[in-house]
């Protein structure tokens, strides 16, 4: 029985300069719930996943990819990064 692999991109596949590039952590939101995905800096290739304020889970790259796609299918949306505000003061100087 083959695995149902999704071939779509995930946020960590994108590089700086790509359309829709976002820095980590990547936050998926649905209503008041949010799930944070970030790379494990100590164990290369692994990821951390945390729902709200619950305990963080360590996932392999494949598990993180499949989980991301399942969350999108369940109605979670990738939160857009907040833009930095430029003040009029810095423009005038």
Q: Which of 91, 26, 93 is nearest to 65 (CA)?
A: 26
Contact assessment for residue 49 and residue 67, using Cβ atoms and an 8 Å cutoff = yes
How many Å apart are CA 41 and CA 44, to the nearest integer? 6
Instruction: Give the Cα separation of 78 and 8 in Å (integer).
Output: 14
The model's pLDDT over 46-88, given as tens digits with 9 standing for 90+, comes to: 999 999 999 999 999 999 999 999 999 999 999 987 765 555 5
Cα 91 → chain centroid: 33
pLDDT tens readout for residues 6-61: 468 899 999 888 888 899 899 999 999 999 999 998 988 899 999 999 999 999 99
Tokens standing for residue 60:
């392999």
3 or 88, which is more confident: 88
């Amino acid at each position: 029985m083959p695995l149902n692999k999704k071939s779509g991109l995930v946020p960590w596949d994108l590089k700086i300069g790509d359309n829709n590039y976002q820095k980590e952590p990547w936050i998926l939101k649905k209503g008041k719930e949010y799930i944070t995905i970030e790379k494990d800096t100590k164990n290369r290739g692994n990821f951390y996943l945390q729902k709200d304020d619950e305990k963080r889970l360590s996932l392999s790259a494949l598990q993180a990819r499949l989980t991301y796609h399942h969350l999108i299918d369940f109605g979670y949306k990738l939160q857009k990064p907040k833009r930095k505000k430029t003040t009029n003061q810095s423009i005038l100087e």
